[in-house]
Each structure stands twice: as structure tokens, then as C-alpha cells.
Amino acid sequence: MATPAPTARRGRPPKGAAQLTRTGIVEATLEVIGADGVGGVGIRAVARVLGVDPKSLYNHVDGKDGLLDAVAEHFLGSIALPPVTGDLRGDLRAIADAFRDRALLHPEAAALVLTRQLASLEGLAPIQRVLEVLRAAGCEPQEAVHLLRTVLATLIGTLLREVNAGPTYGTSDTAGIADRRATLEHSGLPAVAEAAPHLARFDSQAEYEYTMNFALDAAAARIESSRRSRP
């Protein structure tokens, strides 16, 4: 008579479960994002990085959405929020600078904050700070949310452009800049040819400064216009 195969002990945790932490899972997920983008994130992919049974991750996160939420919360919670001074533009710019400092480490992960609906105090703290600044400036709650989303989308957009354009149009790549300028100047398009010296070069700091100044000027003007139109 054949001996029956041994069965797994009921209640025994999957391989590696005891060593898992939420922080470790977030770091592994960031590694996957760095290698394969947000689209490459999944329970199996993160488990491979950690060297554990995929089932063990479900004790800490709820599938792929849980992984992405955890990364977004970690990102927002790690931003060193500056103190509020009462200066609308100065306070918003200081928050944007703190966001950028953190986002440049994991730009694709930073973009997750546009798509995740977070509920934790960690994830909502930066949103709370921006809304406090806007409300203190006289912005109504609905308008404050519109401005929050607009400034955030602008900020993330310029950060993604900075990361992706830098290697191609960076100020240190003089040969590449010269080649690109020549191509644009001979494009046969007058406006493009005229702007060729500027189109061919990408100064990430200058672009960030211009974009954020533009967005914050627009936000301040909008708040002032709304305040004047109230009865």
C-alpha cells in the first residue's frame, strides 16, 4: 500500500511571510517600477524580488492595487513638508520643491498620486497642507480642490518631462544639442527654425522654475479674481 503524500500543516505561513514588512514590500515594488515601470508591478513580480512565496504578500497588501497604494502612501508620507508661513506663493512653492526633491528619486512612482484614492493619514497629509494654504488665502473648498489638482498635475508633468528629456537634451550633451539644433534649423518651418537654439536645449532647473512660477501666478490670480467677485 502506497504511503500518502505529506500535506502542508494547516495555518503554516507561506515561505518568507515571517520576514516580510510593509516597508520591505514597498522597496521591492519600487525596484520593480524602476526596472519595468508601473505596468510591471504585480504580486508575483514583487515576490520574486523579495524571494518569497507570492501568497505571503497577501498578509500585508491586497493585490496589485494594494501594492500601488502602499507605494503612493509611502511617497507622500516621506515628503518633508515645510512649515506654513502665510505667504500663498511661497508656501505652495515650498511644498512643490519638497515634492520634487522626493519625486526625482522615483518619478514614475510619484505619478501614482494622481490615480490612487488614498485614505491613510500618511497619504493625505500633503493634501491637507496644500488645502490649508489655499483656504487660508481665501479659497473656497471646491476651488481649492480644483487648484490642488491643477498644480499637482502641472508639477508631476514637468517632473516626468525633466526625467525623460534630460538624457537627450541635457545641457551637458553639447554634441547632441548641436545636432538637434541643426535639424530644427533646416526643418523648413520658420517658427521652429527661429526657436531652434531654445528647442534643442533642456535646462531642467530653468524649466521647473518657469513652469511652477507660471502655475503659481495663475493660481494666485484665480484666487484673487474669485475673492473680488464674491458679493
CA distance 107 to 113: 11
Diameter over CA atoms, the chain: 92
CA distance 177 to 169: 6
Mean pLDDT of 12-38: 80
pLDDT tens column, 195-211: 999 988 888 889 999 99
184 vs 9 pLDDT, higher one: 184
Kindly write down the DSSP assignment for every residue of the chain, as one continuous string: -PPPPP-PPTTPPPTTGGG--HHHHHHHHHHHHHHH-GGG--HHHHHHHHTS-GGGGGGT--HHHHHHHHHHHHHHHTS-PPPP-S-HHHHHHHHHHHHHHHHTTSHHHHGGGGT----SHHHHHHHHHHHHHHHHTT--HHHHHHHHHHHHHHHHHHHHHHHHHHHHHBTT-HHHHHHHHHHHHTSS-HHHHHTHHHHT-B-HHHHHHHHHHHHHHHHHHHHHHHHHH--
CA distance 205 to 13: 49
User: Cell numbers of 120, please?
Assistant: 491613510
CA distance 83 to 85: 6
172 — pLDDT class (breaks 50, 70, 90): low
Among 17-21, 29-33, 52-56, the range scoring the smallest mean pLDDT is 17-21
| pTM of the full structure | 0.80
170 — pLDDT class (breaks 50, 70, 90): low
Give the pLDDT confidence score for residue 211 in this predicted structure. Answer: 94
187 — pLDDT class (breaks 50, 70, 90): very high
pLDDT above 80 (res 2): no
Give the pLDDT confidence score for residue 175 in this predicted structure. Answer: 83
pLDDT above 50 (res 13): no
Phi, psi (degrees; rounded to nearest 5) at 229: -85, -10
Q: Could you give the percent of the chain with pLDDT greater than 90?
A: 54
219 — pLDDT class (breaks 50, 70, 90): very high
CA dihedral 178, 183, 186, 188 (to 10 degrees): -140
Q: How many CB atoms lie within 10 A of CB 216?
A: 20
pLDDT tens column, 80-111: 999 999 999 999 999 999 999 988 888 888 88
User: Cell numbers of 77, please?
Assistant: 508620507
pLDDT tens column, 103-159: 888 888 888 887 888 888 888 899 999 999 999 999 999 999 999 999 989 998 888
